[in-house]
Amino acid sequence: MTDLLNNQVTAIVLGGTQDVTAGLYMAFEQRTSKVNVVTVDSRIDMDASGPGSLSWNIPVVNSPRIFRYTAMGHQQYLVDTAFVENLEAKGFDVVRLGPLRSNLTMAEPFLRDAHLVSFDIGAIKQSEAPGTHFPSPNGLLAEEACQLSRYAGLSDLVSCFGIFEINHRFDSHDQTAQLAAQAIWYFAEGFSQRKKERPSQNNADFKMFMVNHSDMEHALTFYKSLVTGRWWMEIPEMKTGDQIVVACSQDEYQQACNHDIPEMWWKAFQRIN
């Protein structure tokens, strides 16, 4: 994986258990000081007492180089509350299945900022993808999984997209394998439509918005792309005085306009400082 990254090759990884993600992450650690990861799974694999794939996530979320981590699509009754609290205490994002399905576009900013996206096929409901060792009657629909894959493909930063936990022994008429193939197609379609955008004050393709807040010394700064309509926000790094740009949505801008500091802004600020 390191050689692929060094040669600026975007990799699609298929098969095996999701603990392969930990090895892929190590390659990113060697190349950048801040790594962003998104995992899509019906569970949060942080059980240190369990074998293999039940604990692979622990070295990733405890890594000093992990910056933005998002656990997406988990089902509350399959996850220990302590795992969720642990991630949120670190300033990471946890998006449950229900909120995700009710507003799938909320996933786009997280995927846009990711370097590595790891998709457990068990996040999709059993009737849509039966070929996995840990199926669930609830989960993402096939078209929702494909839309998330397309968001990942559109991201300028995603250099590795993995689909894991497919087990042909449990599959029916190759339904799961075909869905994985379609998800890869959507990733490739998104990849073909990538537009390399990085907002700045001097870039004519972006419109800058500054929102004053009574509890803040400085205004909150947002950028909107005039080409794609996507949004970003600036997060100050207090020690250096630099500004780090983080992907967001128009919802964060609207929250700021309503005199609320967006939760996404606070989490990013805490991680940086």
Q: In this predicted model, what pLDDT tens digit does every residue of 2-14 receive, in sequence order?
A: 899 989 999 999 9
Asked if residue 197 is part of any domain, the answer here is no
Containing domain of residue 32, as a range? 2-192
In a domain, 199, yes or no: no
pLDDT tens-digit profile of 152-197? 999 999 999 999 999 999 999 999 999 999 999 999 999 999 999 9
Q: How distant, in Å, are the alpha carbons of 21, 30, 52, 154 from that of 56?
A: 8, 18, 6, 27
201 within domain boundaries: no
Q: Do 182 and 89 fall within a single domain?
A: yes
Q: What is the mean pLDDT of residues 237-253?
A: 91
Interatomic CA distance for residues 207 and 167, integer angstroms? 47
What average pLDDT does the chain have? Answer: 92
Domain boundary among 192, 219, 239: 192
**Is residue 36 classed as helix, strand or coil in its secondary structure?**
strand
Query: How many domains, in total, are found in the chain?
Result: 2
**Within-domain flag for 24:** yes
SS3 track for 101-153: HHCHHHHHHHHHHCCEEEEEHHHECCCCCCCCCCCCCCCECHHHHHHHHHHHH
Tell me the CATH number at 19: 3.40.800.10
Do 131 and 216 share a domain, yes or no? no
Q: Residues 57, 60, 62, 66: what is their CA dihedral angle, to the nearest 10 degrees?
A: -140
